[in-house]
Structure 1
């Protein structure tokens, strides 16, 4: 039964990590038009103290790419040349990353569900 428990633990750690990643991606998408906003990224690390394969999210990193320089002399943040700093969020990249995170989340969910079904089927066999 320990193998089933380990499989459930590993897949649930993947679910938590992808959910956290999706949260940061949605923050990036929501703030794409916010002046001075830097894209947030999160990496995954191996989680210790459990079965092999467990993951957790690492520290949040801010995008180091250059902020977009936008010309709008009427904007309240515009400098003397009429420019202000936009964000460094690229919506195409964020949406592609969100789809990848969603599919990874669904794969972890499928693994969790299949492990649960196998465990239930084994218990039914042992009862006979």
Structure 2
């Protein structure tokens, strides 16, 4: 029964991590046209307990993409310098959509693992009742 509980916990931690990743992807897409906005990226790390790996995953610190911000020419923009340029956003919508799809599929895989563990637990309990 402990193994089933561990598999449910692993699936739940994976779903939580992918949900956080999807939240950051959504923020990036929402701010794609915000001047000076840097893309947020999240990493995954193994969860540790007293120096031992628990088999769970958690999100690491949010990091900002360090690629250069593109210079946008628009002399009428309020942030434009004397040459008419301002810093744009380094969010690439194609990359964000690919990240969103990957997070969605990983979330669905963890959800299926969660559901499979739940069904196995139910089957075990049914066997024990007989």
Give TM-score, length-normalised by structure 1.
Answer: 0.97
Please list, as runs of the form range in 1=range in 2, the aligned pairs for 1:1-128 lying within 5 A after superposition.
Answer: 1-49=1-49, 52-128=54-130
Unaligned runs of 5+ in 2: none
Instruction: Give the distance between the partners of 2:76 and 2:43, measured in 1 at CA.
Output: 39
Unaligned runs of 5+ in 1: none
Give TM-score, length-normalised by structure 2.
Answer: 0.96
Contact 1:6 1:51 in 2 (8 A): no
Instruction: Give the distance between the partners of 1:13 and 1:51, measured in 2 at CA.
Output: 13
Please report how far the alpha carbon of residue 68 of structure 1 lies from its aligned counterpart in structure 2 after TM superposition: 1.1
Contact 2:32 2:92 in 1 (8 A): yes
Following TM superposition, where does structure 1 have runs of at least 4 consecutive aligned residues deviating by more than 4 angstroms? none
Instruction: Give the distance between the partners of 1:4 and 1:74, measured in 2 at CA.
Output: 61
Instruction: Give the distance between the partners of 2:62 and 2:100, measured in 1 at CA.
Output: 16
Number of equivalenced pairs: 128
Contact 2:46 2:53 in 1 (8 A): no
Alpha carbons of structure 1 residues 51 and 12: separation in structure 2 relative to 1, 3 Å: farther
Instruction: Give the distance between the partners of 2:56 and 2:48, measured in 1 at CA.
Output: 7
Instruction: Give the distance between the partners of 2:109 and 2:55, measured in 1 at CA.
Output: 15
CA RMSD of aligned residues (A): 1.1
